[in-house]
Every structure is written in C-alpha cells, then in structure tokens.
C-alpha cells in the first residue's frame, strides 16, 4: 500500500515533474552524510535536482571564515559546475543544457569583508540554517533510446557524502533508490 501511495504521488505526469526549474527545498532537518535528489527522464530531456548538506562536501556548513574554507568552497563549486561527476552512455549523445547551483547558508556577510559566490539563484534564507548545495542539472540527449543508465559519482572526491536518496521517474519507472560509494549507476530501465 505504501508503494502505491508513493507511486500515486510521482506518476501524475512525467512532463510536469520534469518541468521543475529550481531545486526542491528541504526544510526538515538534514542528515550529515546523506543527500537527497530527484531524477526525471522525459523523452530526450533529463532533469536532475540534488540537495546536499555542505558538511558532506566541505566538512563545514557555514559561510567560510578563513582562506582555507573559501578555497574549499571555490574548489567544490568548480567541481560541481564542471559536471565530470555525471556520466551518461556516449551513444546517447547527451549535452548539458543548464546548470543552476545555489549555496544557501554558505554566502559571505554582506559587509564585503569576505568573498561571495555568484550563482544563478540567490535567496535570503535568514535564520540559523545549515549550509547546503542545491543543484539543478538539465541534459538533452540526441539519442534518447541509448540513455539506459547514468552515473553520479559524488562519493570518491567527497568521502563524507555517504549516500544519495534519489526519487527516479521515467516513462517506465517510478522508484526511490539509494546511491553510495559502491553503487553510482542509476539504471533507467524497469
């Protein structure tokens, strides 16, 4: 019964799910080591959204307070933006269409005394929230029938990132899977 309730929430429309254009905000407490995400495949379009506690990638979850932390944040942002951690079958000929990266809770104070990252979306979150990386990634695959899997490797470079719980929705599959250091491949077939 729980499976049917989960599927009824996910299945109403693949197209509607694939049209989200901002990461889903997680307002509940997060768990260090665990990231959350959504992956939707609709024909040739792939949309991936990830919410990762900053602790998983940086070892801290506040605005950088020194040069070492600023350097770590810069390096992590560059790594995420380069997208080498996301692999698709070469035969699918997938091209990145858009990448949006937000770092709530990691922004420097507005007094100009520290470095501030500029990303596509910046929000005033207020309060004492924990820093995070919120990422939305869009791909277009020219040969969608060859898109049978993809790999998300955000574990080797970030050992504190222990798992990614991923909601998966395709034309033939609605599922929740867990990725980790020993399982980085998402099979898109039923």
> How do the pLDDT tens digits run along the chain, 190 residues long?
333 333 334 444 344 344 444 434 444 455 679 999 999 999 999 999 999 999 999 999 999 999 999 999 999 999 999 999 999 999 999 999 999 999 999 987 654 433 333 333 333 334 456 899 999 999 999 999 999 999 999 999 999 999 999 999 999 999 999 999 999 999 998 7
| The pLDDT value given to residue 73 | 96
- Half-sphere exposure at residue 165, Cβ-oriented, CA atoms within 13 angstroms: 10
| The pLDDT value given to residue 189 | 84
CA distance 71 to 114: 12
| The pLDDT value given to residue 30 | 59
> Which structure tokens are listed for 89?
């079958």
Tell me which DSSP letter residue 100 carries: E
Range of the domain at 7: 2-24+33-108+117-187
Tell me which DSSP letter residue 183 carries: B
| The pLDDT value given to residue 51 | 97
Rg (CA), the chain: 17
| The pLDDT value given to residue 124 | 37
| The pLDDT value given to residue 22 | 40
Q: How many domains are there within the chain?
A: 1
């Amino acid at each position: 019964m729980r499976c049917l309730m989960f599927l009824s929430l996910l299945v109403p429309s693949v197209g509607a799910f694939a049209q989200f254009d901002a990461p889903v905000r997680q307002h509940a407490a997060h768990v260090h080591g665990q990231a959350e995400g959504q992956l939707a495949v609709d024909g040739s379009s792939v949309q991936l959204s990830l919410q990762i506690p900053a602790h998983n990638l940086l070892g801290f979850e506040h605005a950088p307070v020194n040069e070492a932390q600023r350097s770590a944040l810069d390096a992590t942002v560059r790594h995420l933006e380069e997208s080498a951690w996301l692999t698709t079958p070469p035969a699918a000929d997938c091209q990145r269409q858009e990448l949006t990266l937000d770092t709530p809770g990691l922004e420097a104070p507005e007094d100009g005394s520290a470095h501030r990252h500029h990303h596509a979306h910046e929000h005033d979150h207020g309060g004492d929230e924990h820093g995070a990386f919120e990422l939305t990634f869009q791909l277009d695959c020219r040969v969608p029938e060859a898109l049978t899997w993809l790999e998300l490797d955000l574990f080797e470079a970030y050992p504190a990132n222990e798992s990614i719980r991923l909601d998966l929705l395709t034309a033939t599959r609605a599922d929740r899977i867990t990725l980790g250091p020993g399982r980085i491949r998402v099979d898109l077939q039923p």
